[in-house]
């Protein structure tokens, strides 16, 4: 799993807003109540707020909110909430690793936001597209979008979003192997998070600084950052995010060759993932446990872990009538372009060899008949 996707996976499970836990009704009941509202503006506003707040913990219900919001806002020709519906659909497809659909929806959100000249939400779309291109390993386009967002939020003096931009730029530099600049960006982001007393942003910064030190093989420093993540997640009762923190700690113990401790933390991650429905976290933890068992020669336990992993079903959204989603050539990463260029000569050689082999076989058969 490449660097960006590991980091983005943390984002994909990060932090369910605490107020949801205080609600006396379930999210499904809340969704049903919203659909009965007479005021269309209130309905749109509450649909988006609910869908966005449950995007990590209840993605299927969030998806229903987003689709319903899209349909209502289209009927009302309310482009502000139509853009928000596209934005939420893009976020959900991104979390489900469906990058083509995510980019499609985020582009549509950006189009409507630019038409409305809504600078704050334009900046959010820039950030989302930057994240998409990071995962596609198109670092040039990713940096371009993140810098656009950074410049815009500096103009708006939005400290919280400046913090997020610095964090995203840190992740990007980290993925490119520029650890000095990555650490500088992440430490600036952490300082802003502490100034704002923003626990969610502090967790994100701690996690990424921990992973940076892990890449630099500074395992003790990395552990200290991950334990800070655990402490804050426990205070906020953010179960899914906490499961990912346990996974990160387990991986560090594995790297330190403390395999028994690694298995213990992976199992703790799996237990929390079970309780929160974080299938992807459970799958990667089971895969790591299987790897440890295989390394130690416990093939039976390795097989059992892989068997459990294979029984898990990834999240799938309903199929929609969408256009064919094809990336323009300039949006495919250099890495992917190189793979295509390398494979073409190989295919030509194989094809030529096959044709020559066929001619040889036919010639040989004819010659044998003539000899008879």
**How far are the Cα atoms of 3, 32, 144 from residue 332, in angstroms, in the given order?**
18, 41, 15
pTM above 0.85, yes or no: no
Rounded Cα distance, 146 and 171, in Å: 11
Q: Is the pLDDT of residue 252 over 80?
A: yes
Q: Are residues 344 and 319 in the same domain?
A: no
pLDDT digits (tens, 9 = 90+) for 140-172: 999 999 999 999 999 999 999 999 999 999 999
178 lies in a domain? no
Confidence (pLDDT) at 7: 53
Q: Is the pLDDT of residue 5 over 70?
A: no
Rounded Cα distance, 17 and 300, in Å: 41
Can you spell out the DSSP letters for 310-365? HH-----PPP---------GGGS-HHHHHHHHHHHHHHHHHHHHHHHHHHHHHHHH
298 lies in a domain? yes
Stretch 3-31: mean pLDDT, rounded? 57
**Which domain, by its residues, includes 283?**
262-332
Q: Are residues 320 and 350 in the same domain?
A: no
Confidence (pLDDT) at 353: 67
What percent of the chain has a predicted confidence (pLDDT) above 70? 80
pLDDT digits (tens, 9 = 90+) for 96-117: 889 899 999 999 999 999 999 9
352 lies in a domain? yes
270 lies in a domain? yes
Can you spell out the DSSP letters for 54-117? TTTT-HHHHHHHHHHHHHHHHHHT-HHHHHHHHHHHHHHHHHTT-HHHHHHHHHHHHHHHHHHT
As for how many domains the chain has, the answer is 2
Q: Are residues 327 and 342 in the same domain?
A: no
Confidence (pLDDT) at 19: 37
Q: Is the pLDDT of residue 30 over 80?
A: yes
Weakest-pLDDT range from 8-12, 274-278, 297-301: 8-12
Confidence (pLDDT) at 325: 41
pLDDT digits (tens, 9 = 90+) for 299-332: 999 999 999 999 988 767 765 545 444 334 344 3
91 lies in a domain? no
Confidence (pLDDT) at 361: 67
């Amino acid at each position: 799993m490449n660097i960006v996707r590991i980091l983005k996976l943390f984002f994909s499970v990060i932090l369910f807003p605490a107020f949801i836990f205080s609600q006396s009704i379930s999210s499904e009941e809340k969704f049903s109540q919203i659909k009965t509202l007479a005021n269309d503006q209130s309905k749109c506003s509450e649909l988006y707020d609910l869908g966005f707040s449950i995007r990590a913990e209840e993605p299927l219900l969030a998806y229903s909110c987003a689709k319903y919001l899209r349909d209502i806002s289209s009927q009302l020709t309310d482009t502000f909430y139509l853009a928000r519906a596209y934005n939420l659909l893009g976020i959900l497809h991104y979390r489900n690793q469906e990058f083509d659909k995510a980019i499609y929806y985020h582009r549509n959100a950006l189009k409507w936001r630019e038409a409305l000249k809504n600078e704050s939400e334009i900046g959010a779309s820039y950030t989302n597209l930057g994240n998409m291109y990071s995962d596609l390993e198109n670092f040039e386009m990713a940096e371009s979008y993140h810098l656009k967002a950074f410049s815009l939020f500096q103009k708006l003096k939005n400290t919280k979003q400046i913090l997020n931009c610095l964090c995203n730029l840190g992740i990007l530099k980290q993925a490119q192997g520029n650890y000095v600049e990555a650490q500088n960006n992440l430490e600036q982001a952490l300082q802003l998070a502490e100034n704002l007393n923003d626990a969610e942003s502090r967790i994100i910064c701690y996690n990424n600084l921990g992973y940076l030190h892990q890449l630099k093989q500074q395992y003790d420093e990395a552990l200290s950052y991950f334990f800070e993540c655990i402490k804050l997640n426990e205070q906020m009762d953010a179960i899914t995010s906490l499961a990912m923190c346990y996974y990160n700690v387990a991986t560090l113990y594995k790297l330190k060759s403390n395999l028994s401790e690694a298995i213990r933390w992976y199992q703790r991650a799996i237990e929390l993932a079970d309780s929160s429905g974080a299938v992807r976290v459970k799958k990667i933890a089971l895969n790591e446990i299987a790897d440890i068992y295989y390394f130690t020669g416990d093939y039976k336990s390795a097989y059992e872990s892989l068997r459990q992993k294979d029984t898990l079903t990834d999240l799938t959204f309903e199929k929609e009538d969408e256009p064919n989603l094809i990336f323009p050539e300039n949006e495919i990463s250099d890495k992917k372009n190189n793979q295509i260029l390398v494979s073409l000569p190989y295919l030509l050689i194989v094809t030529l060899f096959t044709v020559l082999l066929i001619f040889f076989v036919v010639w040989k058969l004819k010659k044998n008949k003539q000899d008879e």
